[in-house]
A and B are shown apart, each in its own frame.
Chain A
Amino acid sequence: MKTRDQEYRELFMAEALEYYDSMSRHLSELENNPNAGPALNELFRLMHNLKANARAMGFTDLGEVAHHLETLFGLIRDKERTFSGVLIRVVFAGVDALGNMIRAVGANQPMPEVSGLLDNLDRLVRGEAPLLEEIEAPETEEESNRKMELSDLVYIQVKKLDNLLNLVGELVIDRDRIMTLAQEIDNPALLATAQHLFRISDDLQYSVMDARLVGVGVLLNKFPRVVRDVASAEDKQVELTMSGQDVQIDRNILQIITDALLHLVRNAVSHGLETTEQRLQAGKPAVGQLTLSALTERDDVLIQVRDDGRGINTEAVRRKAIERGLTTAKAAAALPEQAIWSFLFEPGFSMADKVTDISGRGVGLDVVKLALDSLGGQLRVESQLGKGTTFTLVLPTSIAVKGALLVEVDERPYAVPLLHTDTVLALHPGQISVVGGVLVTHFHEEAVPLVPLRQLLYEEGDEPLPFATKTDMNGPQHVLVVNYNNRRLGLLVDRFMRQQNIVIKPLSKPLDTIDLFGGVTLLGSGQVCLVLDVPALTRLFLNKRP
């Protein structure tokens, strides 16, 4: 089995070799046309990336050469040097040296000596003439044993992988259909084949999901810079510790939570951690600790952002929530800490007293909540006043199968992810009352508003829903109680169908602007079924309640 280290080395190699090939190509272009701006920019960029990658992997010499070349190309770009004469020879020698060094990494051999080259590059940067004899000798020798190689890795567009996953999703649905049929027909040969198909498609699904996994590190490694920038803008001392970069997760999930994580980290430095002075006064070490860690917990991936800062001031949040009219003073007094903290994820809820450049612009933690909702993930908060705060993102490893409850309205099926369902009830009209134009029932001592799902989905326009009445209610009413951010809402539906695992496909353009739906799924019958987005439904109800 390959170790992580080996895997990273291979990734580095593949990328570096690709950079090297592009460099050679752009250099030739530049030689023919010394003023080719795009080639020059590209070379500058390639050098920069190679430098960054090499340094991250600990190949200092390689990084140094790339760094020197980057500087030189920067000068050429700024028209302080021209791509001509001896400079061309030194640059070519430099790129060749990069190639040799990359190959040395691949073969696990010691790095070639480059001090002469670095010296020459330095001279060029300073505007002095390079010492040419030194570079000429190794170069001619190189010419004979130069090799060509193809990388062991294939770069693939995420789109192609998405398509594969899509097809596998189809296959799995058809497979289940065939399984059912085989059991109905009860032919031993057919059953055996169906079972074989079952195993193979299972393996295939697993392989495709596996191919989409990347290390959380690809995202985490972008954070040292972010933390540094925010800390210096806020004039704070922060030490960032990271762990779990190896934890594997679906690439698209990582993509979706990028902004959320960025927000949490900025927030932690900007609001969570105190200034050096405040820390010293509170008897804490001057340097604030920020930890970014990833770990796996059963089938989930947990990403944690932990600071040892001031913690959440629950009372301040409580006051703010009342001020903003999110709850009444009486209700707020009874709410537990966790429930109070969940107000932090309401749109536009900001605790910032002063607006800084980094955060506190009214863009609140709701961004984080939304990103997680879209993935069917969860957000956990732990905080202790004066000790610090931990935000934990609970993410699925891959975008795969989810449990859902299927309900029927007007003979169309709709799926509601189990994550957001609380319970199902059958209520007699007598158990339902009308309060302020809204249907309400009591469940576990709590008043839960009810709304016909049909009305929420099909009532056009932005005007409030009509005042509810009970006049057209006959017989027991089917109610699905959904729960979002500690808010319960009962949806009146025609019928409960069944519980089932579904593969959610995102809605494609142009319908993806309708956020009431988290996507669609195909039922065993091939029927298209819309997946309801409970957070969006809840918000819609709050906006439209009479």
Chain B
Amino acid sequence: MAEIELASPTPKAERIKPAELVQLIVFRLGDEDYGIRIEQVKEVTVTPEVARMPKTPPFIKGIANLRGDIIAIIDLEERFRLRPAGRPLPERSYTVAVEAADYTLGLMVRDVPRPFTLPLSQIEPAPEFVQDSSTRDKYLEGIAKLPEGGIIIVLDMRKVLTPSEVMRLPGKGASS
């Protein structure tokens, strides 16, 4: 029946464009999954020894030595007030080193972060009201709905971590 095919060349089904994929590093904060685009992640490691840093807000756990770079370690659960009562950070936690605008910062998480790939189209912009009303910066890039149910909240690190955002602290007041 080749003739028929030749005679009536049906327009081919529109070629499916390879969907643009996004790779996330996913970790748990409180009771939800959060993700960061892999381009913004420098490395994932077992949290090194953290030295407490005076004159910083409580969610800054301190500083740590990551391959010779001294970076600030932040507890996002505390920052976003997501820590369920009576669930302290475990002895052994993990640190996701992320590239903020022009410096590196460590995010402390309780479980091993895992990579996750999904089509960009699955990430929906976050509704306005979810945004932290006290900050102008929209650090939620969006919310990814997973086919098997559940969601991943995608953070835009470059916005979570502007220095003023991170610090929100007495800062210079220490000595001026």
Residues of A within 8 A of B70 (CB): 505, 507-508, 520, 528
Q: Is A446 an interface residue (CB 8 A)?
A: no
Q: Could you tell me the distance between the alpha carbons of A529 and B67 in the complex, rounded to whole angstroms?
A: 15
Q: Are A513 and B172 in contact (CB under 8 A)?
A: yes
Q: Could you tell me the distance between the alpha carbons of A301 and B174 in the complex, rounded to whole angstroms?
A: 32
The minimal Cβ–Cβ distance linking B165 to chain A, given in whole angstroms, is 8
Q: Could you tell me the distance between the alpha carbons of A32 and B171 in the complex, rounded to whole angstroms?
A: 53
Q: Are B65 and A509 in contact (CB under 8 A)?
A: no
Q: Are B163 and A510 in contact (CB under 8 A)?
A: yes
Name A514's contact: one of B100, B104, B171 (CB within 8 Å): B171
Report which residue of A457, A461, A514, A516 has the largest number of chain B beta carbons within 10 angstroms of its beta carbon: A514
The minimal Cβ–Cβ distance linking B147 to chain A, given in whole angstroms, is 38
Q: Is B18 an interface residue (CB 8 A)?
A: no
- In this complex, the interface size class of chain A, counting residues with CB under 8 Å from chain B, is 20 to 34
Residues of B within 8 A of A508 (CB): 69-72, 103-104
Q: Could you tell me the distance between the alpha carbons of A505 and B65 in the complex, rounded to whole angstroms?
A: 11
Residues of B within 8 A of A527 (CB): 49, 51
The interface stretch among B23-31, B37-45, B52-60, B85-93 is B52-60
Number of A-B contacts (CB under 8 A): 85
The minimal Cβ–Cβ distance linking A142 to chain B, given in whole angstroms, is 46
Q: Is B167 an interface residue (CB 8 A)?
A: yes
Known: A516-B174, A530-B51. A170 touches B166 (CB 8 A): no
Name A167's contact: one of B53, B68, B161, B175 (CB within 8 Å): B68
The minimal Cβ–Cβ distance linking B164 to chain A, given in whole angstroms, is 8
Known: A166-B68, A167-B68, A170-B68. A511 touches B175 (CB 8 A): no
Q: Could you tell me the distance between the alpha carbons of A454 and B51 in the complex, rounded to whole angstroms?
A: 15
Known: A412-B52, A508-B104, A528-B51. A513 touches B68 (CB 8 A): no
Residues of A within 8 A of B68 (CB): 166-167, 169-170, 522
The minimal Cβ–Cβ distance linking B162 to chain A, given in whole angstroms, is 8
Residues of A within 8 A of B149 (CB): none
Q: Is B36 an interface residue (CB 8 A)?
A: no
Residues of B within 8 A of A520 (CB): 51, 63, 70
User: A410 — nearest CB in chain B belongs to which residue?
Assistant: B52
User: A537 — nearest CB in chain B belongs to which residue?
Assistant: B175
Q: Are A511 and B54 in contact (CB under 8 A)?
A: no
Q: Which 4 A-B pairs have the closest CB atoms?
A: A510-B163, A457-B54, A509-B103, A170-B68
Provide 13 A-B residue pairs closer than 8 Å at the C-beta atoms, listed in order of the A residue.
A170-B68, A412-B52, A462-B170, A508-B70, A510-B103, A511-B60, A515-B174, A520-B51, A526-B65, A527-B51, A528-B49, A530-B53, A530-B63
Chain B interfacial positions (CB closer than 8 Å to A) = 49, 51-56, 60, 63-65, 67-72, 100, 102-105, 161, 163, 166-167, 170-176
Chain A interfacial positions (CB closer than 8 Å to B) = 166-167, 169-170, 412, 457-458, 460-462, 505, 507-511, 513-516, 520, 522, 526-530, 536-537, 539-540, 543
Besides A412-B52, A508-B103, 11 other A-B contacts (C-beta < 8 A): A462-B170, A505-B70, A508-B72, A508-B104, A514-B174, A515-B174, A520-B63, A522-B68, A528-B51, A536-B174, A540-B174
